[in-house]
Amino acid sequence: MAGGLLKVTSTAGVNYNAHNALTGPETEATKIIKAAFDAIKEIPAKPADYTNKDINDLKTDANFQEAFKAIYDAEQAQTTPTALETEIEKAFPAKGAPFAQQIWDKIRDTKLPYALAEQAKGSKVGNIEDIEVLTKILNNFTGEKLKRKRKAAKQQSQTKCNTEATQHKTTVDCTKITNPEECKPEVGCKYNETRKACKNDPKPAVSKTNQEAGGSTKNVKCSDYDTKDTCEEVNKRKEKPVCAWRKGKDNEPDRDKEMCRNDSFLVNTKLVLSMADLSCVR
């Protein structure tokens, strides 16, 4: 009876000393009381001595970390595992009140940042008992957070666009290019075979733009291209070839030298001769 402290026999009642029931030889007979006593001893005497094992487990949990980052707007610099665990423990100390109590304490101590639902600015949420008012406050905070997220996403997108535009406008320093294959017209460069060096030349880049748009070729100067590859590159996406890597024809300079020449030279020459013949007929 009484968890083993009292015992009734056919002749008399037997009682055990309470101290012996917990630490002495009678503990086998009073094991229920002993178990209860041991459990009570495990409870910390002060809240500050309480070790919250929940936080120690949760701070390494991936789902909890994501929730923490979303709620507390953790900065990018705090997204590394170690840094994030430190931030979590700052917000929810492992020693002190249990995790659930810390959550409710934070909610109760939250102050309204502005007058809301007929409650004055600075009012503590914990002092508001009207469920309808609390619901309005919760909905307002949720909406405000969504607005901040959308604004941040818009700013991030705008920053990305500005960065890409700046990068696009950045001029390539052709003089630093040592690989002839990288010295291309589309990046505003031309390779000088004589000096074996890459140099800046915005004209090819303009020509490349015209090629892509199928536009005018009047700005193309074939003699500016020092290699066969760059010479033939100009003709891409053109209705008719603009330049050709060949030896000179009649009335062209350096006839025996292969170089990038205007492919329309023969056409223009024939046109001039035809016009001359026509004028003679008249």
Per-residue tens of pLDDT for the chain, all 282 residues = 454 445 555 555 555 555 555 555 655 666 776 777 677 666 555 544 444 557 777 788 887 888 788 777 766 545 677 888 888 888 888 777 777 788 888 888 989 988 988 889 999 988 988 888 888 888 888 888 778 778 888 888 877 777 666 655 556 788 888 888 888 887 788 888 888 889 887 654 444 444 444 445 556 778 888 888 888 888 876 777 788 888 887 677 787 888 888 865 444 444 444 444 444 444
Residues 6+ apart with CB under 8 A from 119: 112, 128, 133, 137
**245 falls within a domain:** yes
Residues 6+ apart with CB under 8 A from 95: 48, 49, 50, 51, 52
**209 falls within a domain:** yes
**171 falls within a domain:** no
**122 falls within a domain:** yes
Q: Are residues 55 and 154 in the same domain?
A: yes
Range of the domain at 9: 2-43
Q: Are residues 53 and 155 in the same domain?
A: yes
**168 falls within a domain:** no
Q: Are residues 277 and 187 in the same domain?
A: yes
Q: Are residues 13 and 35 in the same domain?
A: yes
Query: Where is the domain boundary, 97, 131, 163?
Result: 163
The C-alpha atoms of residue 149 and residue 117 are separated, in whole angstroms, by 23
Query: Where is the domain boundary, 108, 128, 163?
Result: 163
Model pTM score: 0.33
Overall domain count for the chain: 3
Q: Are residues 109 and 23 in the same domain?
A: no
**141 falls within a domain:** yes
8 A C-beta contact, residue 243 and residue 222: yes
